[in-house]
Amino acid sequence: MVELVVSDIMSKVSDHRAHVLLLQEKEGLRKIIVALGLLEAQAIVFAKREIDPGRPLTHDLFASIASAFGIELQYVLINRISDGTFHSQLHYCKDGEERDVDSRTSDAIAIALRAGAPIYIEEELLNRMCIHDERNGAISIPISAADVKTLRTAMENAVKEENYELAMKLKEEIDSRSSAADEENDIK
The span from the CA of 144 to the CA of 125, in Å, is 11
The tens digit of pLDDT for each residue in 70-119 reads 999 999 999 999 877 899 999 999 999 999 999 999 999 999 999 999 99
Q: Please give the pLDDT value at position 17.
A: 62
Q: Is this structure's pTM higher than 0.75?
A: no
Q: Please give the pLDDT value at position 178.
A: 74
Q: Residue 77 region, left (φ>0) first, then alpha (ψ -120 to 50), else beta?
A: beta
**pLDDT tens-digit profile, the chain (188 residues):** 999 999 888 876 555 567 888 899 998 888 888 888 888 888 999 998 889 888 988 999 999 999 999 999 999 999 999 877 899 999 999 999 999 999 999 999 999 999 999 999 999 999 888 875 554 455 556 666 677 887 788 888 878 888 887 778 778 778 877 765 555 555 55
Cβ proximity of 132 and 108 under 8 Å: no
